[in-house]
Amino acid sequence: MKISELEKVFDLEVRQLIQVDNRKLDGFIEQFKKMDCNQTSCSRCLYCEKFFEKVAVVDKEGVKKASKKVKDFSERLLTGEIFEAPRSHLLFRMPLAKPLLKRLIRWRLKRGQSIRP
């Protein structure tokens, strides 16, 4: 049931967050008549990026809300809450606990001991 939260998180469309007035795109193509994009790095050119910044209207509040949804879901996913994992499993997320537990299990197996305490 909690996995259905995933649908809510990603149930957003870019067109709801970013609007571009096509009339503002007049002249955009002219740059491509003068230069070959295959010979130029986008990270150096920045033509498209700068043009986008001029013509795009971004719903900043909507982006902020969408970002929070994704972050909140990610946190629940990482803590195991989304899967209703028992709190005892949180021990495995501690940086040193997992290797130590693996070492203990290997040591017990070598000695022929039961893994259960």
115 and 73, same domain (yes or no): no
Q: Do 16 and 59 contact (CB within 8 A), yes or no?
A: yes
- Residue 60 and residue 10 share a domain: yes
Which pLDDT value is given to residue 45? Answer: 93
Same domain, 27 and 78: yes
Residues 32 and 79 in one domain: yes
> What's the confidence (pLDDT) of residue 51?
93
What is the number of structural domains in the chain? 2
pLDDT for the residue 30: 92
Does the pTM surpass 0.75? The reply is no
The predicted structure's pLDDT at residue 85: 57
Q: Which domain holds residue 20?
A: 4-85
Statement to judge: residues 75 and 90 lie in one domain: no
pLDDT digits (tens), the chain, 117 positions: 555 666 666 666 667 888 888 899 999 999 999 988 888 899 999 999 999 999 999 999 988 888 888 888 888 777 767 666 566 666 656 667 667 777 877 887 888 765 555
Letter string b/e over residues 21-48, b meaning 16 or more CB atoms within 10 A of that residue's CB: eeeeeeeeeeeeeeeeeeeeeeeeeeee
40 phi and psi, to 5 degrees?
-130, 140
The residues facing 19 across adjacent strands are: 57
